[in-house]
Amino acid sequence: MPTSSFFARYSAYLQAAPLTLVLLVFLVGPLIVILIFSVFKFTGFIWEPGFVIENYERIFTDRFPVTIKNYVQTIKITAITWAITLFIGFTLSYFFVFDLIRFKIKIFFFLLVIVPFWTSGVVRMVSWLPILGREGLVNKVVVGVGLSEQPWDFLFLSEFSVIVGYVHVFSLFMVAPLFNVMARIDPSLFEAARDQGAKGWQILLYIIIPMTKPGIAIGTIFVVALVASDSTISRILSGGKMGTISTTISNQYQHFQYPFAAANGIIFLIVLLLFVGGLMRVVNVREQL
Amino acid sequence: MSDDKKARTGKAVSRRTVLKGSAAAAGLAVGSGAVSGFPTIWAQNIKDVTLRFVGSGVTHQAPWKAMIEKDMGFKVDFTVTDFDTIKNRGITQPRSYDLLEPTANNLRAMWPTNVFQAIDSTRLKHWDEAIDLYHAEGKIWPDASFGQGQNPSLVLYTDKQGGRKFAKAGSSKWLTMVPSQHNADTLGYNRDLTGRTLETWAELISDEWRGRVALQLLPEIALMDMGMALKASGLVAYEDMGNMTRDEIDKTFAIMNDLKRQKHFRGFWLTFGESVNLMLSKEVVLQSMWSPAVTVVRAQGVNAVYADLKEGYRAWTIGFMLPKHLDGLKLDAAYAFFDWLYTGSSGAYFAKQGYYMPTPQRTKEFLSEDEWGFWYEGKAAKGVIKDPLGNDLEQPGRVRDGGTYKNRMGRVAVWNSEPDELVYMTDKFDEFQAI
């Protein structure tokens, strides 16, 4: 029968078709639009269709010093957030998976990590004001116990508060993949290791960490992509005083400078893809999927 | 489920067809001027019309929406967002709204994009009554200052329908926007923390307030505020603060960068709420502020003052624009709305929040003598001054900061503007942020 042989022959393609379509429409399509905009001409107030490379050229000439500064700042903030969320994510997941025994309790604790997401993003950010502000809880204690005569200004509207905000919001993205991979580790491996005379730190170093690598890699991709591309949290919690590559893109977008923003966006995307590509070479993520 | 859906779609289509047919008829009826008030055809169809507004929190408030719907008979849909989004969405998605309310200082960027239609001022019943600011001279009173930067009269007219250039004020009947609110902005400060009354813009860069100062996170506005301060302290001379040259921008940033290194700025705010939070939490002593934000802060018990500074004010105008696609009954509804807008009830509603509308003599009819005296004439309140919802705002005896309409709008030092060197300015602001 012709129909059934058609389905038999192309079944793999047909099964892949919906996802391909979604990716084409929502990922490839917008990227092409950004690519097109990045070569449009900007006249000073508005863009004009055309093909110019000025938008890229200026990034590497006049604006090269500030671009480098922006990337250094982005990398710095991302690295610090990554290290903290990894530590929190790893210890929390370890606790959930290996220290808690009943499955329901494990899930309950895992859900607790999602609690920050029950409020809106803006509330989550503004809520740091009564804690870290000049008249906030921490500064009341600092001044009260005589640590300092003046409130510590660096606690709020600073790099510090931006990192606190990121860790608060993005830790979940490290916990979830780590929880997932750790839950797959067969506990009998630990018994076997102990029988062979392994100590606790050796189990951690030679069994758990190698086996959670794919989870670390996925969590890293999440956190790095989210932090590096954020411009809202950093704006509100730094009081608009911090310049990152996303701040630049957002400033340009706000002022209609779509071609500049698009060119910066493309370069930024290439940098991120190189990072993810490099990570994939080091860790085989598919191993655990 | 699917039947239900089909039935609903069917209904919508048929209603739209009816609307289309009657729109032409309604247009004719209104255009002929034969009928006074709303023509019968209008009255029958208008309740099915929904006008989609996109604008800012300055005007897009629920009680005002109810006022429009009650008086106009059509439905209104409000999308409230910030001015950058209004500008961007206005240009890139004109099909997603029927009326847009951006600031006049964005007109230089917005109008030439050709996505808007010019508004025929001869069709506006009350246009002649609008303040002189929007007519030939661009001065609200003969002895008022014209102000540096982009006085709204410079961008309010265009030569023809479909024209992309601005025309001299009053030389054409075609408007780019119908102005709604205007006001004079200045610095807000916490009187209890300063311990004295501030009188000059130079206070903005004073060592006394180091680390307790905030500006707006919009380069063009922040630079004008800085410009006022630097000019007042004699550090930089400007030809036109609303249109700084590269040299002037460089000089301004040289000082701003130093101030940032000395941690002079506590922060930069983008939204109304952020500015309120900064003042309420005592993070700042002195900052660029909007008038109603000062009112909110005062209502919370902080002794905030909207400074009346000797160098004058930084003023602005916002107004309604129409996208090209608007036609038929919806266009008629928009014009009817413009006529209603200037009749005074809206003027009174917004006066109680400290804003001014272009037909003050009509606004006066909707305000009590005490309210008019307080908001417009700088007189001490005799009774309790209430906000539009009837909540207590100011106690008897209190005088409005900055006083009279004339003292505030007559002493405009600079208008909110987009300078020719905006790209250079945003680039430099970027470098400022990266420090």
- Picking from B55, B70, B65, B54, the residue whose alpha carbon sits closest to that of residue B349 is B65
Q: Could you tell me if B192 and B162 lie in one domain?
A: no
Task: Name the residue of chain B whose CA is nearest to A252's CA.
Answer: B426
Average pLDDT over residues B79-88: 88
Q: Could you tell me if B228 and B352 lie in one domain?
A: no
Backbone angles phi, psi at A44, to 5 degrees: 120, -30
Q: What is the CATH number of the domain that holds B149?
A: 3.40.190.10
Q: Does A234 touch chain B (CB under 8 A)?
A: no
For B115, the domain range is 2-183+316-362
Tell me how many domains chain B contains: 2
Q: Could you tell me if B309 and B322 lie in one domain?
A: no
Share of chain A above pLDDT 70, in %: 96
What is the tens place of the pLDDT at every residue in A161-207? 999 999 988 999 999 999 999 988 888 998 999 999 988 899 999 99
Which among A66, A156, A241 is the nearest to B430, CB-wise? A66
Q: Could you tell me if B123 and B168 lie in one domain?
A: yes
Domain assignment present for B370: no
Please list, in sequence order, all residues whose beta carbon lies within 8 angstroms of the beta carbon of residue B121, skipping any fewer than 6 positions away. B127, B173, B174, B175
pLDDT at B391 over 90: no
Q: Could you tell me if B281 and B415 lie in one domain?
A: yes
Q: Could you tell me if B192 and B166 lie in one domain?
A: no
Domain assignment present for B396: yes
Residue A106: band (very low, low, confident or very high) from pLDDT cuts 50, 70, 90: confident
Q: Could you tell me if B277 and B357 lie in one domain?
A: no
The answer to ipTM > 0.90 is no
How far apart (Å, rounded) are the C-alpha atoms in residues A183 and A98?
A: 8
pLDDT of residue B299: 84
Domain positions in chain A: 22-62, 76-260
Domain assignment present for B381: no
Q: Could you tell me if B91 and B156 lie in one domain?
A: yes
Q: Could you tell me if B342 and B405 lie in one domain?
A: no
Average pLDDT over residues B269-278: 89
Domain assignment present for B382: no
pLDDT at B13 over 60: no
How far apart (Å, rounded) are the C-alpha atoms in residues B411 and B227?
A: 16
Q: Could you tell me if B311 and B321 lie in one domain?
A: no
- A43 contacts in B (CB within 8 Å)? none
pLDDT of residue B147: 93
Q: Could you tell me if B97 and B26 lie in one domain?
A: yes
How far apart (Å, rounded) are the C-alpha atoms in residues B328 and B25?
A: 9
What is the tens place of the pLDDT at every residue in B297-323? 988 889 999 999 999 999 999 999 999
Identify the CATH number of the domain defined by range A76-260. 1.10.3720.10
Backbone angles phi, psi at B283, to 5 degrees: -65, -35
Q: Could you tell me if B84 and B145 lie in one domain?
A: yes
Alpha helix positions (H), A149-231 = 159-183, 188-195, 200-203, 209-229
Q: Residues of B near A (CB-CB distance < 8 A)? A: 84, 87-88, 91, 108-109, 112-113, 211, 214, 217-219, 260, 263, 265-270, 274, 277, 281-283, 418, 420, 422-423, 426-427, 429-435
